[in-house]
Amino acid sequence: MHRILHHHLLLLAIAAVGPAYAALEVDLDSPDSIIAAAQLKAYDVMTYYKGNLTGQIPGILPGPPPAGEYYWWQGGALWGTMIDYWHYTGDTTYNDEVTQAMQFQTGPPQNMYMPPNWTASLGNDDQSFWGMSALLAAEVGFENPTADEPQWLALAQAVFNSQTTPIRRDDQCGGGLRWQITPLNNGYNYKNAIANGCFFNIGARLARYTRNDTYAQWSSKTWDWMVGVGLIDSDYNIYDGGHTDKNCTDINRAQFSYNVAIFLQGAAFMYDYTQDPVWKTRVEGLLANMLTVFFPNGIAKEISCESDVNITCTTDMLSFKGYVHRWLAVTAQIAPFTHDRIVATLRTSTEAAVKQCTGGASGRVCGFRWVQGGVYDGTNGAGQEMNVLGALLSMLLDKAKAPVTNSTGGTSQGDPSAGTDVSFLPYTGAVTQGAKAGAAFLTLFFLTGCIATLSWMMLGWGEVN
């Protein structure tokens, strides 16, 4: 509760600076002005978080439906945003919440971000978003947990290792990760870009951080699978996924910005690690695709659900722009040949993002649509606020240190074998209705919770598929 009071005092102090910030006006040529605006947006983002209040669950945004709008993975995404907030601004206001949240959801004793209350409903991508935030903490030198707690690097390694085990992998569609982990979940028969993109991204970053080539080999294998199955085409379009019962030939050609961004950032890490020109070519191709498809006129647009006349985006999709801005900023840092193009685009996009933050009683609530010339679209939510915060932070990329490694200042302790002693629901072949029933029984046996809780977990959830 004391932290909430502190947030209110911080808001009053920032607001007292002058009326220029009431509508989130910001001078993008002034780091101080950007930081001041980011402080306001960080506060606004954190007003959606209730996990630091008595009786609430640390780490998660209100949800999942019907209890609230947000799924478990978006908590992990929130903490990645707030770790970057500290990294780019130096403001430690929310660091205690970050550490508490990231530690509370680790899922002991295996500590691979599969806590018992959520395991039955998890996708590989859900788990990975928490792992990517833990890895980010290691890369930017976020304060290490106490010695008796899981360490940031080890948490990321546990997530990665758990996804290399045979129970997550099979030969259907020639390999690749399924979207869902548990056989009885909707989407278990779907192999998609985001699950494999997260795995690719974590592997590339772990390879650079640890200099262990095994991680890079897994990432290279994942890239080759994506190309081989047709989810990455010759123009570097990345399509959403395909179904195992169709041998992934029924490709869903929907395109989402965070799919391209997560592969782009991962490819930049692979190039930095290997110095292989093939990865530079891939970075160039993905960047050209990203800027052409998802930044028309230099402004971020989620083309799959944001048309000129309406917005059909799910709550998940409403948060993609912030990740894209943040991941592009890191790409510019570690792949300097991309820097000027990325910075120019991020600036144009951030200007548009800030201009439309004129809603609500505060006069600075942000919507989702940035392409309307400064017109607030009437939407609001944690995703919209994280998007603009991510955009503002991306404008500080030249003032911040690039991600470190364990030989360039990284201090997080790792565990190369973390997450390898996994015993969940072994894959035994194509899933029949009988197998699904058996899986359901085992899941209910192993997990805490009740049938009423599990029922909403299994209904499709409204995530991207």
Residue 420 CB contacts under 8 Å (≥ 6 apart), including other chains: 161, 162, 165
Residue tagged 């930049």 (tokens): 268
Q: Tell me the per-residue pLDDT of 27-39, one tens digit each, with 9 for 90 and over.
A: 999 999 999 999 9
Q: What is the dihedral of CA 384, 81, 156, 207, to 10 degrees?
A: 100
> What residues does 180 pair with on adjacent strands?
123
Distance CA 100, CA 113 (A): 14
Kindly indicate the confidence band of residue 22, based on its pLDDT and cuts at 50, 70 and 90.
Answer: low
Q: Which of 13-17, 137-141, 210-214 has the lowest mean pLDDT?
A: 13-17
Of 111, 113, 107, 104, nearest in space to 132 by CA = 113
Q: Note the pLDDT tens digit of each residue in 83-107.
A: 999 999 999 999 999 999 999 999 9
Rounded CA separation 120/460 (Å): 12
Residue 29's CB is within 10 A of a number of other CB atoms, namely 9
Percent of the chain's residues with pLDDT above 90: 83
CATH code for the domain defined by 2-457: 1.50.10.20
- Residue 265 has φ and ψ, to the nearest 5°, of -60, -45
Above 60 in pLDDT, residue 365?
yes
In the chain, the amino acid numbered 179 is: W
Instruction: Give yes or no for residue 437 having a pLDDT over 90.
Output: no
Q: How confident is the model at residue 69 (pLDDT cuts 50, 70, 90)?
A: very high
What is the average per-residue pLDDT within 304-316? Answer: 94
Res 451 pLDDT > 90: no
